[in-house]
Structure 1
Amino acid sequence: MKCFYARETEAHDPIFRLTHGAILRNAEQAERAGRLLTGLDLLSLPVQEPPVAPRAALEAVHTAQFLDYLETCWDEWQKLPGAGPEVVPNAFPQRSFATYPTGIAGQAGWHMGDTSAPIGPNSWRATRRAADCAVAAADAVLAGDRAAYALTRPPGHHTSADMAAGHCLLNVSAIAAARLREGHDRVATLDIDVHHGNGTQDIFYHRDDVLTVSVHADPSAYYPWFVGHAHEVGAGAGEGFNLNIPLPRTSTDDAWIAAIETALDRIAGYAPGALMVSLGLDAHERDPLLGMKVSWDGFTRAGRLIAEAGYPTVLVQEGGYLSEDLTTSLVCFMNGFLGRE
């Protein structure tokens, strides 16, 4: 299986995070990539550097205005009096009656849904190269590979067409799904990150050519708080093409696996030409964000189930945060997916 990674992503190492009123170290640290690379080494899966994807691959899911903002915002931020080292907004618009601002402080609030995705001097280059990995993995599958993996960070599934959030900048998962759509009439997405993929849902919510399915911790008591409920089924042409399966945070292997089975049943009914999996590993019982209680065996079972579904599959790395268990979580999922003991 081809695996793609870009070293430039390591230069994005955000600091700021606000949780329950406390300023903490950001959870999406560059060290995550090292632990995932160790997992690929243990699996004897070498990584290759992706080519630069065309901007059109990003514009398939993001607005040109948002891409321009991500590319230029840190430089513009430094022109503010007393600017901090990262772009972190302190005001957010009520978009239903708001006007797009001309200044960078206002634009930051417009294009960032919360304070957990700070942007530093190397963030644009990092997320751009992460997107290149997602496109390269999709292109490998379009070229005939059974599966490919994109080791992407920063992650992406909380970012909508023009708003970053939740540690995410470019929505690498949606970019991969849209790229697959170029070769297939229908594409399905399966998000098994412990957090609901609200950005991916938003991007495809009015479409019937991309089925979005997410298995995640109940958002009534967990991030992203406001989105990810079972009653969200799509709208317009997309009505009936969005499935959310929220679970209690106490969920262990059997409940999580049963939900993935339900998700795969829905995907089978849709009969997509290809599948994009948002591979979050943060449902693990010892992940520092404490979302659910899935074991390593649960990840192996999940990998096996997804592989047995039989679709050409792109795996895009989403969550899974710094712990001694992150490497093993990836190894266990991949062993299941690859049919290894």
Structure 2
Amino acid sequence: MLTFHSAATQQRRARTELDGGVLVTPYECPERVDLVLERVRRTALGEVREPDDFGLEPVLAIHDRDYVDFLAGCWDEWQSLGRQGEAIAWIWPTRTMPGDVIPEHLDGRLGHYALSADTSICEGTIESAQASKDIALSAVRHSLTTGEPAFGLCRPPGHHAATDQFGGYCFFNNAAIAAQYALDHGLGRVAVLDIDFHHGNGTQQIFYERDDVLFLSLHGDPRQCFPYFLGHAEETGRGKGEGFNANYPLPPGTDFATWASALDDALARIRAAGCELLVVSLGVDAFENDPISEFKLTSDDFSEVGRRLAGLGLPTTFLLEGGYAVEEIGINVVNVLSGFEAGTAA
């Protein structure tokens, strides 16, 4: 399987994340890429290739122009204010302050465009986000033109990024950008399957009123897990999109048998919907030892996940999302990809 990777994804080296009331070193770190890449090469998964530069047009097909401009200029503006740390939002529009007028001051705009306080903006953030979406686009283009699977070693991840909000370590929604690219190049319907422990709130928001993208997400119950305010089973789409959004919220401690039952239901929906391409938001933080997740999948289980995905028989693009048990992330990611290849060959 072809892997797309760029060293530019590691330009973002954030130092701060708000966790439990203190600022800690972020769980989403550049070393994640190193470990996945090392495992890809050690297992001889396939060629590793640099992505092409697709510019901003595919990004603007998904994200608001003012939001993109904000991300591009935020770090320089933050520094111009004489701030010493990284840019972190500390006030938001709320139920009593609807935020109909976007503030001029950077602190206000940070609150407007941030969905959570876990994610800072630092030097290299926009450069890494641009490289990450180019990786996703190169991978999906390969799947479209050859019918072969491809893996995009994306960093930052993307599935929490909404039309005009960042958070959960995400800035551009790589999976949504890839799906839209496929539709713009002739496909009629694409499935985006999110297997990250955390709900893909951004992807859901982007496609919630559309019937050309079937979005399905297996994740921790939002009553107990980030992002808390989206991801319930009752959220099934709106208007034309009714029936094209499927959430599988699962309780803490979920084992593979329970998780796999939800996966099988999602795969059946993909088959029934007549999708022509599968984009997998490949988070491996459902792993039993992940520090910020609460499912119980083992490394061997991820191989079986890949085999089941292969059973769809669709051109498939994998894009890296979460996974923070850093020692095992390479094993778990490549187990999914190797399992997919084994399932395809069977």
Q: Output the TM-score relative to the length of structure 2.
A: 0.95
Give 1:332's aligned residue: 335
Distance 2:43 2:105 in 1: 48
Give 2:68's aligned residue: 67
Distance 1:331 1:79 in 2: 42
Q: Verify the 8 A CA contact 2:15 2:26 in the aligned structure 1.
A: yes
Distance 2:318 2:306 in 1: 10
Q: Would you identify which runs of 4 or more consecutive aligned residues in structure 1 move more than 6 Å?
A: none
Give 1:54's aligned residue: 55
Shift of 1:13: 1.5
SS at match of 1:315: strand
Shift of 1:270: 0.5
1:185 corresponds to 2:200: no
Q: Verify the 8 A CA contact 1:146 1:311 in the aligned structure 2.
A: no
Which one-letter code corresponds to 1:219 in the other structure?
Answer: P
SS at match of 2:327: coil
SS at match of 1:149: strand
> Is there any run of 5+ residues in structure 1 with no aligned partner, and where?
none
SS at match of 1:246: strand
Shift of 1:171: 0.8
Shift of 1:248: 1.1
1:111 corresponds to 2:113: yes
Give 1:209's aligned residue: 212
Size of the alignment, in residue pairs?
A: 340
Q: Verify the 8 A CA contact 1:31 1:322 in the aligned structure 2.
A: no
Q: Verify the 8 A CA contact 2:192 2:279 in the aligned structure 1.
A: yes
Which one-letter code corresponds to 1:60 in the other structure?
Answer: A
Q: Verify the 8 A CA contact 1:257 1:298 in the aligned structure 2.
A: no
Q: Verify the 8 A CA contact 1:282 1:319 in the aligned structure 2.
A: yes
1:60-92 Cα offsets, whole Å, 9 max, x none, are 1101111111111100111224x1332111111
SS at match of 1:220: coil
Give 2:165's aligned residue: 163
Give 1:284's aligned residue: 287
Shift of 1:226: 1.1
Q: Verify the 8 A CA contact 1:257 1:301 in the aligned structure 2.
A: no
Shift of 1:6: 0.9
Give 1:296's aligned residue: 299
| Alignment map for 1:31-42 (pairs within 5 Å) | 31-42=31-42
Distance 2:122 2:325 in 1: 20
Structure 1 stretch 91-100 or stretch 1-10: which is displaced more? 91-100
Please point out which of 241, 260, 264 is paired with 1:261. 264
SS at match of 1:146: coil
Q: Verify the 8 A CA contact 1:284 1:294 in the aligned structure 2.
A: yes
Which one-letter code corresponds to 2:311 in the other structure?
Answer: E
Which one-letter code corresponds to 1:165 in the other structure?
Answer: G
Distance 1:119 1:307 in 2: 37
1:221-240 Cα offsets, whole Å, 9 max, x none, are 11111110100001111111
Shift of 1:152: 0.3
Tell me: CA distance 1:51–1:231, structure 2 relative to 1, closer, same or farther (3 Å).
Answer: same
1:211-262 Cα offsets, whole Å, 9 max, x none, are 1000111111111111101000011111111000011121111111111101
Q: Verify the 8 A CA contact 2:216 2:246 in the aligned structure 1.
A: yes
Shift of 1:317: 0.4
SS at match of 1:211: strand
Q: Verify the 8 A CA contact 1:61 1:174 in the aligned structure 2.
A: yes
Distance 2:327 2:85 in 1: 29
Distance 2:99 2:110 in 1: 17
Give 2:197's aligned residue: 194
Which one-letter code corresponds to 2:310 in the other structure?
Answer: A
| Alignment map for 1:225-244 (pairs within 5 Å) | 225-244=228-247
1:9 corresponds to 2:6: no
SS at match of 1:277: strand
1:23-77 Cα offsets, whole Å, 9 max, x none, are 2221111111001101211231231111111311101110111111111110011
Which one-letter code corresponds to 2:17 in the other structure?
Answer: R
| Alignment map for 1:143-158 (pairs within 5 Å) | 143-158=145-160
Q: Verify the 8 A CA contact 1:60 1:178 in the aligned structure 2.
A: yes
Which one-letter code corresponds to 1:290 in the other structure?
Answer: S
Which one-letter code corresponds to 2:118 in the other structure?
Answer: S
| Alignment map for 1:86-125 (pairs within 5 Å) | 86-94=86-94, 96-125=98-127
Q: Verify the 8 A CA contact 1:152 1:318 in the aligned structure 2.
A: yes
Give 1:84's aligned residue: 84
Give 1:22's aligned residue: 22
Distance 2:217 2:10 in 1: 28
Q: Verify the 8 A CA contact 2:285 2:325 in the aligned structure 1.
A: no
1:90-116 Cα offsets, whole Å, 9 max, x none, are 111137453111222111111111122
> Is there any run of 5+ residues in structure 2 with no aligned partner, and where?
none
Which one-letter code corresponds to 1:173 in the other structure?
Answer: A
1:132 corresponds to 2:134: yes
